Chains A and B, each alone.
Chain A
Amino acid sequence: MSKLDIFMLVVRVAFSAFVPLCFIAVCVWMERRGAGFFQDRSGPNRANIFGFRAAGLVQNLSDAVKLIFKEDVTSAHIKHKFYFVLAPVLVFFTALVSFAVVPFADTLVIGGKSYIMQGIPIDLGILWFLALAGFSVYGIILAGWSSTNKYGILGGLRSAAQVISYEIPMGLAVISLLVVYGTVNLNEMAQFQGRLLFGFIPMWGAILQPLSMVIFIVAAFAETNRTPFDLAEGESELVAGYHVEYSAMKFAVFFMGEYVALFASSAIIVTLFFGGYQIPFLATATLVKGAKPVAFLLMILLPVAMYYFAGWIRRNNVSHYPRENDPRVFEANIYIKCFWALVIFLELVLLAILFSESGGSAAHIFVALLQVGTFLLKVTLMLFVYIWVRWTLPRFRYDQLQKLGWQMLLPLALLNIFITSAFVVALS
């Protein structure tokens, strides 16, 4: 193994381990400020370090500090302390590992050698995700049971029933996708989606399999225990469901596990249905060839976008009441300077690409970075959809949830398999 090999190994493992962790902060921030904006209030925007609030991101830090220093209570009535502690770890771990098979860029070719851009280089792909997503509910059931609490056990039971009902439509929705893609490997699926249908429509899963997309997304909401399917922690009837007995960091691990699962399932949805890391109309080979025009276009677009972004910051980062020497204006100016510095740095990088050898390894790395950026952008949009749905829809009643799972989604998924198979057989 050369030094480059080891470096690429570290990069890909670090990416798939730390990016979900970083996105916890982004998710929590998006959830809380987004909820505020959806409900015409402002959300947490006061916590600051020396007056810098970072649009409310500092609140996450203070929450983390609070949770770390809180007393970690394990009630005396809990008999199986080991399982009690194991449960949040299980939820968190399975969520984190399920992201490991998702490719975040196309196979990178440097100096004739190719490097896979996913955490674990295995071909299981979607099967790995399905297995671990099914496994993560064990953590919730274990938490409910080992809490020795009525609400906890009811939450765990509901979660178990829900997962059984929604795992099946999810798996069946994936089957029709497999018929189309002809592979379980997520990277090959993403490569497939880089092609064009009739020469002008990107061959995304969402376009080839719209019904499968709806079923999969609904099932994914249920799998991640998000509204409208968060019966396992329905406050109105179960207090907090399976995490009533948990406090401090044990609760925080549950909470973080939930958001990592959110990130992982968003990544899977993006990879299966929205082209993964592919930029529409620009497949990897085209991008490598046209690295210079793309870099040039970005060099023009970046300052323009930044100009409007700076205007937005200046307009919104002010005190909305009369105040002398408004410190928020000063804060906004600092932010704008930081962002301009970032833009200048990016411009320099793009300039280096413009002067590099065309089709060389610099172009390949540039394309990989572009694809990582696209992938993260798509995932963030999908996370926003999760949050958007949460603050729009009320919770399902338990019987409605089961009815939807068994009587609607299951027959629809089966029908979808028949139609897809008929099409594939007829066309081949």
Chain B
Amino acid sequence: MGANVKTIERKGSTPQERFYLLEIFKGMATTFGHFIRNLLDTRKLYVRHYPEVKPEIPVRWRGRHRLTTHPDGTVKCVACFMCQTNCPANCIMIEAGERYDGKTEKMPVKFNIDLLECIYCGYCVEACPVDAIRMDTGIYSVIDNNRESFVIGLDELLKTPGAFSEEEYKKGGA
């Protein structure tokens, strides 16, 4: 089995191309076509009018994190530290405590994510054994004017709802 060789035709050696000026004019005609089309009708620009028009976020897109809850509203996380151990950016800081409502033995008392450190790789979501952390909020723009507010805690993570329905999320194959 010989390797599948594809010979690419070399361009630029014909006298016409060597002359250069003609090719320049061809290129200029192409760019001018774009210019005049856009000048005559600005609707034809390939532009999304952000921030007025928001981009569509697909289900598998990794946005800001959230912590999921049981149907009764209590935190699903069992403070197993899987996500913190797995995090390549070391941005998750969990402090575990005892849990008394009979669901599990441990729960997080502190769950901080430093969003300035986070690289949005989604390894925490992959690592979680109980589906407690997800990145399905659809939030892609995290802005503030001081560093401290980028470290988000347990309350903030629990408060944010997912942007998609459960079926959609499952279908997305996360």
Contacts and interface: CB of A to CB of B under 8 A. Distances in A.
Interface stretch (A261-269, A386-394, A419-427): A386-394
B28 A320 contact: no
A392 B46 contact: no
B47 A42 contact: yes
Interface of B: 21, 24, 27-28, 30-32, 34-35, 38-47, 49, 52-53
A321 B46 contact: no
A144 interface: no
A36, A37, A316, A388 — most chain B CB neighbours (10 Å): A37
9 contacts: A34-B35, A37-B34, A37-B35, A37-B39, A38-B34, A40-B34, A41-B46, A321-B53, A392-B27
B31 A392 contact: yes
B52 A321 contact: yes
B21, B32, B45, B49 — most chain A CB neighbours (10 Å): B45
B21, B27, B32, B42 — most chain A CB neighbours (10 Å): B42
A315 interface: yes
A214 B34 CA distance: 25
A386 to B, nearest CB: 12
Interface of A: 34, 36-42, 214, 312, 315-316, 319-321, 323, 388-389, 391-393
B23 to A, nearest CB: 10
Given A37-B39, A315-B41, A321 B34 contact: no
Nearest to B27: A392
A392 B43 CA distance: 22
Contacts of A321: 49, 52-53
Contacts of A41: 45-47
A320 B21 contact: no
The 6 lowest CB-CB distance pairs between A and B, nearest first, are A37-B38, A392-B31, A40-B46, A316-B42, A37-B35, A321-B53
A410 to B, nearest CB: 16
A319 B49 contact: yes
Nearest to B28: A392
A145 to B, nearest CB: 34
Given A319-B52, A320-B49, A321-B53, A40 B31 contact: no
Nearest to B53: A321
A321 B49 CA distance: 8
Given A388-B28, A388-B31, A214 B21 contact: yes
Contacts of A39: 34
Contacts of A42: 42, 45, 47
A320 B34 contact: no
B28, B31, B38 — most chain A CB neighbours (10 Å): B38
A393 B29 CA distance: 12
Contacts of B45: 36-37, 40-42
B35, B39, B53 — most chain A CB neighbours (10 Å): B35
